[in-house]
Amino acid sequence: MRDIQLVLERWGGWAANEGSQVGWSPTSAMFKSLLPHSSKPRPLCSDNDGLIIDTAVGMLSKAKRQDELELIMLHYMYDVSKSTIARWNKCSEGKVRQQLMIAETFIDACILMTESELEMDTWTQKVIQK
């Protein structure tokens, strides 16, 4: 079982560096001015993995799940914390976590349905302890 959060962290670094093809931009001018311009190095995925994940993230838009897409982009691509997103949206951090989990599961399912193998799959597997 793939750890989709690790996958999305690397995709976020790749998308911020290479530019995501997902047609999303911050919905309000407030977001644009508040987004951090991080210069710290972030882990990246390969271009092949990035394109596969980018397509899966783009499926959120096709499925008309704009709220979840916004959360994924803010948290993984722009590196905005969950608590900051919750403050911006005037909701609880628990709600943000829940919506992120739904979006992460959707993206993971899209990757699984295409039977795509990611180059990072070998080291992003969850270890299930008994």
Distance of alpha carbon 109 from alpha carbon 103, whole angstroms: 10
- Digit-coded pLDDT (tens) for 1-15: 789 999 999 999 888
Q: Which of 41, 116, 32, 23 shows the shortest CA–CA distance to 12? A: 41
Distance of alpha carbon 15 from alpha carbon 45, whole angstroms: 9
Query: What mean pLDDT is reported for the chain?
Result: 83
Is 34 inside any structural domain?
no
Is 61 inside any structural domain?
yes
Host domain of residue 65 = 4-19+45-120
Is 91 inside any structural domain?
yes
Is 35 inside any structural domain?
no
Is 53 inside any structural domain?
yes
- Digit-coded pLDDT (tens) for 45-91: 888 999 999 999 999 989 999 999 999 999 998 889 999 999 998 99
pTM for the whole thing?
A: 0.81
Distance of alpha carbon 116 from alpha carbon 114, whole angstroms: 5
Is 127 inside any structural domain?
no
Is 29 inside any structural domain?
no
Helix ranges (H only) for 1-130 are 4-18, 29-34, 47-62, 66-72, 82-89, 93-113
Q: Which two tokens stand for residue 19?
A: 């530019």
Is 70 inside any structural domain?
yes
**How many domains does the chain contain in total?**
1
- Cα 26 to the center of its chain, rounded Å: 14
